[in-house]
Amino acid sequence: MNQITFFPFINIKKIILLFSIIPFVISAQPKVYTIDEAINTAINNNRDITISVMTVKKAGAAVDEAFGYALPSVNLNGNFTRFLEKPKMPFPDFEAMLTNATYSILFDEGVIPRDDNKYKSMGSKLQSFSQTNNFSADVTITQTLFSSAVFKGIGASQIYYDLAKADLYSTVSKTVLSVQKTFYGVLLLKESLEITKASFENAQLNLKDVKAFYKEGIVSEFDLLQAEVIVENIRPVVLNMENNLKSAKDGLKLILGVDQLEDINVQGDFLYQPYDISNEEGLIDEALKSNYDLRTLELKKQVDEAFVELDVSEYWPNIAAFGQYAYNGSSDDWKFNTYSSATIGLGFSINLWQGNRTKNAVEQSTITYQQTEEQVKQLKDYTLLNVKSKIQDLKTVQSIIDVQNKNVELAERAYQIAKVRYKEGVGSQMELQNTDLSLKQARLNRIQSMHLYLTTKFELEQILGKTNPEYFSAFSELEN
């Protein structure tokens, strides 16, 4: 017979407690972002991008609206009125007029003896010619045949749409650059903290060895105290760098648009691939052609030019064809007498003079265009200067990265030699400390140069309009 084994109640409580803790442990894990995940998160959450998307949609609706002015318009009108008191107007007294005409004939024909007293005095009398109930309905179709404002407006709205799209791409590009710089800033602090912690661990291991040597009488108390001071000098540096890293992560969370209470981390490497900057003139030409801000401002200039043409179009006539069908009826007793009518025609209007309003409007829009033209020239000069500056920065940093890689290798070798010398009793505590500081500084110099290289490369690519096209793919459905 099989025996049934019952687990102690305490084991069941442990199992329940374990499963209740697991979700909290899982949720406590920080969200780790790669550079692509960070950029996509920022693009999805960035409010400036959201506003720019709305502007693009609004511009697309404006294009459709502008086309609508060139299409026929159909209007249906109808009304019904009932007079509670009919309107009246003064009119000659028809009764007196008819009576006098009749007597005049009778007198002239000798039918009755003439008696001027039979004539009635002539005057006016309030009379109504309206019926109590009236209705009317009509359908009017109007088609613009010529309107410079309409035709220019269609072109201007399309340019405005292109401007809104270019501004969106510029906003996305700036957001990508901001994320890249902040992300690698966090990564720099993270790597620097790890380097400093490695130096701290070296100092702690050295202190442990010194304590052992001191107990054996190999080293003096001075060496022991010196080793302890080195450890305690590095400890606050580690704490300060941990605080700086936390602040940098908070800044990254702000750019990503995530909750400030969320725990995040970054994952990535400082990869160095030499950037081809040999053709400086080619890079400058590319920047002047593809820079997002320049393209946006060039389109702004085209919009301003279109507005000048719109204002000038007020001098031109407007010609439109129209047709109307009307159906009307009236009655005093709801039995309507109805009739219909149909008309077609052409309408013509032209501005002859409006107090120089059109002239002044053209002058204002022309000045706005000229201002934008100057802004384009200014931005081109600034872009050219920026490209040259970034190229020079890249040349400088690329020239020292390879040297620093070798310098780190030398510093690591020197530190290992110093450790061996100290353990063998031929080296000093000061020698070990100096080689450790040199190693830490060499590592920091290398990682800082890599960070400078990447951020400078990102800035140059943004100036050149070389933001990864994949980051714009989410907005492809906005094409008008």
- From residue 223, alpha-carbon distances to 197, 217, 218, 439 in Å are 22, 11, 10, 21
- Tell me the pLDDT band of 78, cut-offs 50, 70 and 90: very high
Residue 145: enclosing H or E segment and its boundaries?
strand 133-147
Q: 22: Cβ–Cβ under 8 A, 6 or more apart, which residues?
A: none
pLDDT in tens, 416-453: 888 888 777 777 767 877 887 788 888 888 889 999 99
Q: What is the mean pLDDT of residues 242-255?
A: 93
CB 378 within 8 A of CB 298: no
Tokens 């006016």 belong to which residue? Answer: 124
Cα angle vertex 136, ends 131, 141, to 5°? 160
User: Using CA atoms in the order 410, 416, 417, 418, what is the torsion angle rounded to 10 degrees?
Assistant: 110
Higher pLDDT, 342 or 475: 342
Tokens 């105290």 belong to which residue? Answer: 225
Distance CA 356, CA 319 (A): 22
pLDDT on residue 28 = 57
Distance CA 165, CA 124 (A): 73
Q: 479: Cβ–Cβ under 8 A, 6 or more apart, which residues?
A: none
Q: Phi and psi of 77, rounded to 5°?
A: -125, 145
Higher pLDDT, 3 or 332: 332
Q: 357: Cβ–Cβ under 8 A, 6 or more apart, which residues?
A: none
pLDDT on residue 207 = 86
- From residue 243, alpha-carbon distances to 193, 283, 448 in Å are 10, 40, 19
- From residue 11, alpha-carbon distances to 16, 21, 411 in Å are 9, 15, 56
CB 267 within 8 A of CB 56: no
Q: What is the mean pLDDT of residues 146-163?
A: 91
pTM of the model: 0.76
**Closest C-alpha among 171, 169, 179, 176 to residue 473:** 169
- Is the pLDDT at 62 greater than 80? The verdict is yes
Q: 134: Cβ–Cβ under 8 A, 6 or more apart, which residues?
A: 80, 81, 82, 83, 328, 329, 330
Give me the residues paired with residue 328 across strands: 136, 339
Q: What's the chain's Rg over C-alpha atoms?
A: 45
Query: CB count, 10 Å around CB of 32?
Result: 11
Query: Do you know the residue count of the chain?
Result: 480
**Closest C-alpha among 273, 221, 222, 264 to residue 246:** 264
Q: What is the mean pLDDT of residues 50-77?
A: 92
pLDDT on residue 465 = 93
pLDDT in tens, 84-102: 888 887 777 777 778 878 8
- Is the pLDDT at 478 greater than 80? The verdict is no
pLDDT in tens, 207-222: 888 888 888 887 888 8
pLDDT on residue 4 = 42
Distance CA 249, CA 38 (A): 12
Q: For residue 124, what are its two tokens?
A: 């006016």
Lowest mean pLDDT among 89-93, 274-278, 344-348: 89-93
Average pLDDT taken over every residue of the chain: 86
Query: CB count, 10 Å around CB of 344?
Result: 10
Q: 450: Cβ–Cβ under 8 A, 6 or more apart, which residues?
A: 270, 272, 401
- Is the pLDDT at 187 greater than 60? The verdict is yes
- Tell me the pLDDT band of 374, cut-offs 50, 70 and 90: very high
- Tell me the pLDDT band of 6, cut-offs 50, 70 and 90: very low
pLDDT on residue 419 = 81
Q: What is the mean pLDDT of residues 357-382?
A: 94
Higher pLDDT, 427 or 397: 397
In our burial notation (b when 16+ CB lie closer than 10 A, e otherwise), range 400-414 reads ebeebeebbeebeeb
Percent of the chain clearing pLDDT 70 (strictly above): 94
Cα angle vertex 275, ends 272, 279, to 5°? 170
CB 86 within 8 A of CB 133: no
Q: 460: Cβ–Cβ under 8 A, 6 or more apart, which residues?
A: 275, 283, 387, 390, 391, 394
- Is the pLDDT at 105 greater than 60? The verdict is yes
pLDDT on residue 242 = 93
- Is the pLDDT at 115 greater than 90? The verdict is no
Distance CA 414, CA 419 (A): 9
pLDDT on residue 479 = 64
Distance CA 471, CA 43 (A): 8
DSSP string, 176-210: HHHHHHHHHHHHHHHHHHHHHHHHHHHHHHHHHHH
pLDDT on residue 101 = 83
Q: For residue 459, what are its two tokens?
A: 């800035």
